[in-house]
A and B are shown apart, each in its own frame.
Chain A
Amino acid sequence: MRRVLAAIALTAVIAVIASIQLNSYRDFQIAQIAVDVTAVAGLTVLTGLSGQISLGHGGFMAIGAYTTALLLIHLNWPFIVVLLVSGVITAAAGAIVGMAAARLSGPYLAGATLLFGVALPSFAYAYQGVFGGDQGLTVVFTAPAFLGASFPLTRWQAWVATATALVTLTLLASLSRSRVGRNWRAVRDDEVAAALAGINVAATRVLAFVVSAACAGLAGSLLAVVTALVAPTDFTLTISITLLTAAVLGGLGTLPGAIWGSLVVVLLQPYITDVATSHGLSASVGANIPIAVYGLVLIVVMLVFPQGLQGALRKLFTGFAAAPARHSPHQKEEGTQ
């Protein structure tokens, strides 16, 4: 745990220095990465540790984002309160989905959460008066006065998002090392054995969904204040699959992997689009190349190196060490199947 805290502190220092040194577009990207890390960390814990997949995490992000927008618009509470309430409300939604999901295995669960993710944005159209329909809701978010009038908003957004992401990572790291995390792994590896060992399998699975949804809710809340607009088109199937891509690429079940995956996903997209447009391709082609690449990444990683980037890094650094390498969760999973 001490190593985790040291890594978190180091990341925080890097993010703060970077946000001051870099321009406002880079600050926006830092905030985007932090939003993704928050959501992907929750997803990677759900899928990698508790063995449940979700193709509807964009839906949970939507719940967090709309909660934040509505609270800021109608009640104007302080953001820290709004952030926490958004997390709690999304966690409640996660409990409902989790209870439905606890009985389902792989493909059924994937299909059910897929429908959840596809169906949820239609609430925004069905109740236009509340959710603003296609136009969405505009969110006003300002930097606190004590930082001075000239303090750039993007930097403040980057700080808030990074702080939330790091706190989330810390909590998830300690949770996954605790009894809860051990129960998740036990249920994932062998349900029957876990039940015989006295673990309440259903409750353990639902808890994983609650925790994961809460993370997605926080990420959605951050997204609302970073982009200043919450609209149903932000929460399409593509978002859910992008999160899954980041989790899979980083290495399912590993929190550092959530960071590597999010870095790649957030930074690769504008890079590919830039390269494509500078080679004379149209904007629509440029926007679609990253999506095709995500698909390729999901297939190749799953077929060729299912432990992802974190697994590869771990192999690289422990390959020559005398002590046997600690098994990544995924290796265990394959070993038991």
Chain B
Amino acid sequence: MVEFLQFTLSGIVFGMIYAAIALSLVLIWRGTRMLNFAQGGMAMFTTFIAIEVIYKTGSYWAGFAVALAAGVVLGALTELIVIRPTAGKPELNSVIVTIGLLIGLEGLAGILFGAQYRSFPSAFSVTGIHLGRTPLGITRADLFVVGAVLVSTLLLAVLFRFTTAGLRMRAAAFNATVARLSGIRVGRVLTVGWALAGLLGALAGLLVSPSTFLYPASMDSIFVYGFTAAVLGGLDSPAGGVAGGLILGVGLSYVSGYLGSNFTSIVAMGLLILVLMLRPAGIFSGASLRRV
């Protein structure tokens, strides 16, 4: 029973990280009908920037802030330089371009920062928290992970729901042509969307790296789980993305705990194929006619 509780709690922690990646994918998907396959690679790169800053300044929070800023800049630049020219082209083109960006960033990180595994510090203590005398299998650092993702999700929800900028973004995602006719600069809105996605991705990279080590390909599997989470929740729905992340995180934690960690990606693959075949618009959707 204690074991089950521990697997559940650690599943929630990882689930929040998948949720952050899923949210960043949903943000871009809603605006551009595009999947950013470089999201994990960008997160890896900004986390490397963080580790360098932490090493130079000795302050975790300086690295944290610089990485988030780098995520914003990287997201915006990506949209402006390589994504905008693919508008109106076959959708395969943008897929291939973001794949190019992923492998390009991984190569560049290997050149600049080295290919060896590096440990990444966490913000808070990693000693386990006890409930009475029962170890819960989670730490203060884990609580920070959950809190950070929850806060940024809430901020995003507030941004979308209650601000003019959010209204513009929703309008541009709903119908770009109509939005443009009503005076919204859709191009700028898309850039902001990519910047926000870059921010979320950078946050996910900072949060996951203490438990996975950091190396050029370290975000590959985190990214595919984030993608799976986004598809579970339906790529259009931010709330679905968070729920998908939590379901996947807890589910994979049981798989890893009871079957062994080698089975997590296999189970995730089976789950993804199942969802895509049975409920392509996400597990929370009703009967849907939309072709994916």
- A interface residues with partner B (beta carbon < 8 Å): 47, 51, 53, 55, 100, 103-108, 110-112, 114-116, 118-119, 122-123, 125-126, 236-238, 241, 244-245, 248, 284-285, 287-299, 302-303, 306, 333-334, 337
Contact = CB atoms under 8 A, between A and B. Distances in A.
Interface in B105-135: 105-111, 114-116
A245 B102 CA distance: 12
Interface string B38-61: 000000000000000000000000
A290 B260 contact: no
List 7 tightest A-B contacts by C-beta distance, closest first.
Answer: A295-B104, A298-B100, A292-B107, A288-B110, A291-B107, A119-B265, A126-B262
B103 A115 contact: no
B200 interface: no
Nearest to B91: A106
A47 B35 contact: no
A302 B96 contact: yes
B227 A114 contact: yes
B97 A118 contact: no
Interface of chain A, helix or strand or loop or mixed?
helix
Given A106-B92, A111-B272, A241-B99, 6 more contacts: A53-B96, A55-B37, A111-B231, A122-B265, A126-B262, A298-B99
Contact of B92 (A47, A104, A122, A294): A47
A23 B37 CA distance: 41
B90 interface: yes
Contacts of B280: 103-104, 108
Given A118-B220, A287-B110, A299 B100 contact: yes
B105 A118 contact: no
B104 A100 contact: no
A112 B100 contact: no
A296 B33 CA distance: 23
A206 to B, nearest CB: 13
Contact of B217 (A111, A236, A245, A293): A236
Contact of B86 (A107, A236, A302): A302
Contact of B224 (A115, A291, A293, A334): A115
Contacts of A125: 262
B91 A299 contact: no
B82 interface: yes
A43 to B, nearest CB: 12
Contact of B108 (A107, A236, A244, A292): A292
Nearest to A48: B92
A35 B119 CA distance: 37
B115 A105 contact: no
Contacts of B273: 100, 112
11 contacts: A110-B99, A115-B265, A118-B221, A237-B220, A238-B106, A248-B96, A284-B110, A288-B106, A298-B96, A302-B96, A333-B90
A244 B110 contact: no
Contacts of A293: 107
Interface string B240-254: 000000000000000
A118 B99 contact: no
A103 B89 CA distance: 21
Nearest to B270: A119
Interface hub of A110, A116, A241, A245 (most chain B Cβ within 10 A): A110
Contacts of B34: 107
A111 B224 contact: yes
B276 A108 contact: yes
B147 interface: no
B263 interface: yes
